[in-house]
Structure 1
């Protein structure tokens, strides 16, 4: 079942560190089966506190998402994101077409 990692950037704390992350993060996806569905496009917060940006990545399943996120290559790069901004990252399973709870 398709799984998604949803990133919300809540606030920037070090733009240079965030820039280093942005320069390298896409390269960590090259060998993974992933599709970017949202990449810091225009957004409107309908509930909750404001966010600076949103990224949504689709993977074939949760194991594939974790393989990328927990992998050595991304873990080396993510250090810059942790220094550069406050984010929330959530792994969520998708649903079969037309299925809602």
Structure 2
């Protein structure tokens, strides 16, 4: 069953640091079965507190998503994201159709 990594950016503090993160995070996808689904486009908030941006990546399984997140390449990118912005990051399993 598919799994989705949902990254909700609450606030961006440092654009240069974020740009460094984006470059490293894109490179960290190599060797992982990831499909980018949503990438920081315009967000229309219908309820709740507005967010600064949302990224969604699809993986074949939760295990694949966890393997990507815990990979050395993504872990090297992670400190740049943490320095650049406030985030919530979740892994959500898909549903059977």
1:42 CA displacement: 2.0
8 Å contact 2:7–2:87 — kept in the other structure? yes
Aligned to 2:43: 43
1:10 and 2:29 are equivalent in the alignment: no
**TM-score, normalising length: structure 2:** 0.95
8 Å contact 2:24–2:73 — kept in the other structure? no
Aligned to 1:53: 53
CA distance in 1, matches of 2:59, 2:47: 26
CA RMSD of aligned residues (A): 0.9
Which stretch has the larger CA shift, 40-49 or 53-62?
A: 40-49
CA distance in 2, matches of 1:46, 1:90: 20
CA distance in 2, matches of 1:22, 1:8: 14
1:53 CA displacement: 0.8
8 Å contact 2:6–2:91 — kept in the other structure? yes
**TM-score, normalising length: structure 1:** 0.91
Deviations 1:58-95 (A, max 9, x none): 00000000000011110011110000000111100011
Q: Report the 3-state secondary structure (helix = DSSP H, G, I; strand = E; otherwise coil) of the residue aligned with 1:20.
A: helix
Aligned residue pairs, count: 97
5 Å matches for 1:1-101? 1-97=1-97
8 Å contact 2:4–2:92 — kept in the other structure? yes
Deviations 1:22-75 (A, max 9, x none): 122111002110111101122201121111111100000000000000111100
Q: Structure 2: any 5+ residue segments left out of the alignment?
A: none
